[in-house]
Structure 1
């Protein structure tokens, strides 16, 4: 275990983050719903965007606390897509970078192949990934505003439990 005090690394206490449920909208208009299921996994639904309609539960991820109320999560999907999200809870801001393989987001790509409940189609996603092409990756780097944030507790199967479409009960779009 790393001695955080001597390494310069911030304390890795995730209690302010695990269990949080978010809805956020990127500057390009894409709307995502995301849940910090645990320190090592997340769930998400994509309501609008290139792969709107896609949803995933128990996606393995890595989580780090950068400082105070700032966290970063990273994961690699069976599709070959890699995602990195920076959460600034104090400013209700996210910066996301998505590294899409060519087969999804490139010219002639097929994003529609990923629009499903991924957990039921892992072998298909891996086959599409392996058939490619992967390179060069299409990199989408955008800021998003957190328009909804609530604590739902860890490992709550009710948070992300159905296909995208209807937003959760009690959802009110935040306006500044």
Structure 2
């Protein structure tokens, strides 16, 4: 494939932007994620190491990896790095989370991140800088998508409240 054609295809996010996903990782962690626009995402973590955390307008980098397959990456103020691959046709996500030691290491403090991050950016930077960061705890997991719907670009209603305020059958796609 020609380089310009690859670049053109990879920049086409029209089938992805505005999509709202609910998914559960094989390890049981439950997430909700929204492709707010070409450069930002919103998410809530309902269950897992940092369950209760939520973020809006997280800067991200997104590409179309192949038709119907999208990859997003971002670096959080906590020092956590995230890489997600969304396969829309098969309704699968593969996520790799790179947690710094201060969050996921033995005896550390993931609870410090359980908040609406947007209101505590300075705290997240301070915790990150206090560390320790290394060695990173790397968690790669597959997830099954139980809900997927295009909610439109830059829709502030999609991720608008903390986790834990949703019906019990939310993760069953209802």
Q: Is TM > 0.5 for Structure 1 vs Structure 2?
A: yes
Matches of 1:158 and 1:27 in 2, distance apart?
28
State the match for 2:109 in structure 1: 110
Structure with greater helix percent: 2
Per the alignment, do residues 113 and 93 of structure 1 end up closer, same or farther by CA in structure 2, a change over 3 Å counting? same
Note the aligned Cα RMSD (angstroms): 1.8
4+ runs deviating over 4 angstroms:
none
SS at match of 1:112: helix
Q: CA deviation at 1:74?
A: 0.1
Contact 1:10–1:65 (8 Å) recurs in 2: no
After superposition, the C-alpha distances for 1:127-171 in whole angstroms (9 at most, x for unaligned) are 000000000000000000001011100000000001001337x94
Matches of 1:97 and 1:162 in 2, distance apart?
25
Matches of 2:73 and 2:98 in 1, distance apart?
11
After superposition, the C-alpha distances for 1:34-58 in whole angstroms (9 at most, x for unaligned) are 0000000000000000000000000
Q: CA deviation at 1:108?
A: 1.0
Matches of 1:4 and 1:47 in 2, distance apart?
40
After superposition, the C-alpha distances for 1:59-97 in whole angstroms (9 at most, x for unaligned) are 000000011000000000000000000000000000000
State the match for 2:56 in structure 1: 57
Report whether the alignment pairs 1:30 with 2:8.
no
Matches of 1:172 and 1:113 in 2, distance apart?
25
TM-score (norm 2): 0.93
State the match for 2:153 in structure 1: 154
Contact 2:23–2:171 (8 Å) recurs in 1: no
SS at match of 1:121: helix
